[in-house]
Structure 1
């Protein structure tokens, strides 16, 4: 399966051929739909073909234990008409929702650059997102974090993907900030998300999500609240201002 969202996360429409269709998921030969993973929700949207259409209410990865390669399931509404196998469909993602996820996901990387400590969990949302941190200090200053974040956003730093080998990642364990999700390894290379230039990196860590191309595209953010979730666990909740 060709993962078009890897090639261009800004692409909204593309055609595809239906390989299999059931209410447990529709499989295409290529997809724009990002499947739920790494804390980012799966895309929603619509598939249309000659004589029919079906809304896609979620996108998930197929069971890796029974599938070969990276397969994506496009989950239709339970009452939807399914496209015929072999049909050519036009796929269109809910761009407004995807773009908010891209902005939020990139903003969470900046939170990692501002807040010390390992990440113990997180969730990307269109309206509100969060990261949990294992931090030794008793408290984090909400206003200081918000100011630092918005300064990094306003500076419009470049954002890009890089790849390194599995061996390189094993030799640089400091790149892995999260304690809850292990970077996907085994294919020989790992995707990294870099914020900043090569000689002035702000954040660099494994990530397979979708992101904007510059921090200025995120727009101003608000730290909604910081909660204590354990002896050293602090939850930072973030919202976009628009």
Structure 2
């Protein structure tokens, strides 16, 4: 029996990566649902996820040292990186401390560079919205978050990919009932909310992994894979948020 391909993932960040809920009495990391998505899409993979979320940590002062600890120096020149993918989410606490978005972004690029230099791919996530009441503080933080997310979305570097988590959690994408179900407080999420994040991040990573698999195929086989790409499969008619059906459908258009 052939050995299963290993997929090693680092989920790195602050309390939103740790799955902090209910004043710290419960932790439900988003990677729990993400791992389910990946296992369903790639049953031939052996998937391991290391969650390094530190509540209260800020990008400007804490992230870089912790990321360097995750990627220690090579002992031998042929050593492989400890992870294949690093998913990075940070900036919420920096914004609360009035750190300018340009400074947060500059430090984020340094954090991303640690895994990138070791041959690990990076999936950078934009910063989710906060649901505090209206006022000058909210207006300032909203403007800074928008500026930071635009910097993240516009950054280009080989092996670095960006997923707009903020957009998928916005009021235009979620209903009022969903927001009540998903939000624990102004910043954090309920376990259901973290599952929602894991579902979205998982689908983003599935799409990237499928795209890489296709790119590695010979051209002739690549074309055969996409026969009937416009066909609607029965499994697609259910809720896209549900894993109960046991299917993930990825189209060629999803990979372009």
Structure showing the higher helix proportion among its residues: 2
Structure showing the higher strand proportion among its residues: 1
Which structure is higher in RCO with an 8 Å CA cutoff and minimum separation 6? 2
TM-score (structure 1 length as normaliser): 0.28
TM-score (structure 2 length as normaliser): 0.27
